[in-house]
Every structure is written in structure tokens, then in C-alpha cells.
């Protein structure tokens, strides 16, 4: 695959704190990749490095074949949408719509107009008086209308209501279909955004826990639920990612796909077996150690690089 984003063994430390620890993953050109993980997992840090706003302590980040840090040409091809965007005090929406296209050669005035209307962004109110959701709406207008070859959305819809979020998903998918580009999006609203992604990266405490295609992710883990003793028998000898217990019932996420033997035994004992949803995968693989009620000592890690190494 041609990688638009190629993160190679990137470590980022701040004093004694390690935000990213030997992180490697690639995002193919023309794909939408979801970046997931708990608070503090390192999502913003890696996006800042990809955007060229920060640089690794060690390792290398390549975007469109170049190192983005202090590289103006690459910087112009990246749009980084995050929640701390600041605007001059006197700015109204019209100022943003006048200036943003100067930094985005592929700017779409039609996409901008559609989103401004759909989000009902106030025209006359100074942006500094905007609500949290209205600020997110302005940032999304910039991110989508820019049509940058590499677009990074870091939790882009803080404060947006469900209707506005649906508009974002719809316009993103439609415009991406017509003008393919590479999009990396981090969010904690995993269930509702699941259909957007064709790649998945899950970070856990600064490390890559999962890096694979969305289809492969469906086969990474199953959730086995039912009477605790029956579930215990079915999960014995398997790698347990996460256990949740409610009274005499338990729900256990284990690695791997559901094989025939497991399904037959589950039917016989009245236990449910289902592929883990993306949200369940993120909860299982992205949970900081000790968060799950019960966890194996060595939480399984599944990355494309490791699979390639194993196959070699």
C-alpha cells in the first residue's frame, strides 16, 4: 500500500512522561482511519507530530513522503482540526470563509456553504462568543471544505448535537467518495462513527495495541456472554482481553474469531457469542492495564507489522 502517513518507531517524551512509546503504523493513501484510545493514550500527540506541530523525540514521521515538521510544502497539504483553534477577537464567520481558502488550494465553497447552512452557524456573532458546538462546526467547515490531501480530525465534534454530527458523517462520506483523500479521525463516539472507517488504530498508554483493516478488526475478538460458570468453561485456555460481571452473568472478550467448536458448545450451553464491535474492541484493547475487572498479564497486541513479521 502507498502510505500517506507513515509513523516509524516514534517515541515522544515530555520530561519523565512518555506520551508515545515506539509507535509505528501506516495510513494508506485514500482511506479513512479511526484513531482510538482512552484519555491520555497519545492520540493528540501523534496527530500533532503528523501535522508537523511537534516532532518525535526519536523515530520518524513521514507524511506524503516527507517529514512534516518545519516543512512548509507538506504543511500546506495537511489540515489539522482540533478543539483549541483560536481566532482573532473581531472575527466573524465571513472572515474565516475569506481567509481559509488562501491556505487550501482545493477549497470547496459549495461544501462550506452547505455545512454553514446545515450547522446554522451564526453569521454576525463574533466567533469568540460561539458555543462549544458552534466552534466545532466552524472547525469542521474548514476541515471538510479544505479537501486537504491529508486531513486530521482530533475529536472534531465536541459539543455538536446528534443532528449536526450526522450531517458531518454524511458530508464527509459523500465528499470523500467524490474527492478521495486520507483522513485520520480520533473520537470517543465510536459506535455512531463506526461505518466511516476502513482502517483502525487503537493506542493504549502510548503504544499501538491494534493496527489493521476494519474487516480484519471484526475477526480480532469475540464477546462470550451468559451464565458465569458456562462462560468460564468456554473461555478457559483462551486469551481474555476483558471480563465484565453482573451478578451471576458475565461477558468476556477473548481474542480470535468464533470457531465451529466454540459456537456449537455455546449453543448447547445457552451462551451468546458475537464478534466484538469496534467499541468493544477499543474498550478491550485500549483499556489502561487494571481498568478491566479482570485481565490477562499480557494484553494481546495485534498490529499489521507483527502479522507481517509472523508471516515472513
Ligand X SMILES: Nc1ncnc2c1ncn2[C@@H]1O[C@H](COP(=O)(O)OP(=O)(O)OP(=O)(O)O)[C@@H](O)[C@H]1O
Of 13 and 239, nearer to ligand X (C-beta) is: 13
All three cell numbers of 272: 451468546
Q: Is 156 in the site for ligand X (CB under 6 A)?
A: no
Of 42 and 52, nearer to ligand X (C-beta) is: 42
Neighbour-count burial of 309, counting CB atoms closer than 10 A to its CB (0-12 exposed, 13-18 middle, 19+ buried): exposed
Q: Find the shortest distance in angstroms from Cβ 84 to ligand X.
A: 11
Size of the site for ligand X (CB under 6 A): 11
Q: Is 143 in the site for ligand X (CB under 6 A)?
A: no
d(Cα 1, Cα 211) in Å, to the nearest integer? 14
Q: In 3D, which of 136, 207, 151 has the Cα closest to residue 182? A: 151
> What residues numbered 268-297 form the site for ligand X, per CB under 6 A?
none
Burial 76-93 (b: 16+ CB within 10 A, else e): ebbbbbbeeeebeeeebb
Q: Is 184 in the site for ligand X (CB under 6 A)?
A: no
Distances (CA, A) of 58 to 7, 37, 66: 11, 22, 16
> What residues numbered 13-32 form the site for ligand X, per CB under 6 A?
14, 17, 19
Q: Find the shortest distance in angstroms from Cβ 288 to ligand X.
A: 11
Q: In 3D, which of 113, 156, 154, 159 has the Cα closest to residue 132? A: 159
Of 39 and 248, nearer to ligand X (C-beta) is: 39
Q: Is 193 in the site for ligand X (CB under 6 A)?
A: no
Residues 30-69: x where in contact with ligand X by CB under 6 A, - otherwise, as a string? -------x-xxxxxxx------------------------
Q: Which residues pair with 272 in a beta bridge?
A: 225
Question: Contact positions toward ligand X, by CB under 6 A?
Answer: 14, 17, 19, 37, 39-45
Amino acid at each position: 500500500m502507498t502510505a500517506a502517513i507513515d509513523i516509524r518507531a516514534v517515541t515522544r517524551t515530555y520530561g519523565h512522561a512518555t506520551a508515545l512509546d515506539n509507535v509505528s503504523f501506516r495510513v494508506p493513501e485514500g482511506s479513512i482511519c479511526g484513531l482510538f484510545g482512552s484519555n491520555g493514550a497519545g492520540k493528540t500527540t501523534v496527530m500533532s507530530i503528523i501535522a508537523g506541530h511537534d516532532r518525535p523525540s526519536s523515530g520518524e514521521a513521514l507524511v506524503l513522503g516527507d517529514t512534516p515538521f518545519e516543512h512548509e510544502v507538506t504543511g500546506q497539504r495537511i489540515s489539522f482540526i482540533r478543539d483549541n483553534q483560536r481566532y482573532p477577537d473581531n472575527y466573524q464567520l465571513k472572515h474565516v470563509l475569506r481567509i481559509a481558502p488562501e491556505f487550501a488550494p482545493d477549497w470547496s465553497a459549495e461544501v462550506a456553504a452547505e455545512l454553514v447552512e446545515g450547522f446554522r452557524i451564526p453569521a454576525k456573532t463574533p466567533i469568540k462568543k460561539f458555543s462549544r458546538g458552534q466552534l466545532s462546526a466552524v472547525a469542521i467547515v474548514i476541515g471538510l471544505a479544505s479537501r486537504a490531501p491529508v486531513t486530521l480530525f482530533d475529536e472534531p465534534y465536541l459539543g455538536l448535537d446528534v443532528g449536526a454530527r450526522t450531517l458531518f458523517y454524511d458530508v464527509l462520506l459523500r465528499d470523500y467518495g467524490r474527492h478521495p483523500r486520507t483522513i485520520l479521525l480520533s473520537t470517543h463516539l465510536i459506535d455512531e462513527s463506526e461505518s466511516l472507517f476502513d482502517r483502525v488504530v487503537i493506542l493504549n498508554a502510548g503504544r499501538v495495541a491494534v493496527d489493521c483493516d476494519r474487516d480484519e478488526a471484526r475477526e480480532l475478538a469475540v464477546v462470550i456472554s451468559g451464565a458465569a460458570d458456562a462462560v468460564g468453561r468456554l473461555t478457559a485456555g483462551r486469551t481474555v482481553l476483558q471480563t465484565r460481571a453482573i451478578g451471576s452473568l458475565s461477558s468476556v472478550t477473548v481474542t480470535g474469531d468464533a470457531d465451529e467448536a466454540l459456537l456449537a458448545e455455546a449453543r448447547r450451553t445457552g451462551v451468546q457469542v458475537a464478534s466484538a464491535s469496534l467499541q468493544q474492541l477499543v474498550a478491550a484493547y485500549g483499556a489502561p492495564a487494571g481498568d478491566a475487572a479482570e485481565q490477562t498479564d499480557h494484553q494481546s497486541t495485534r498490529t499489521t507489522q507483527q502479522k507481517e513479521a509472523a508471516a515472513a
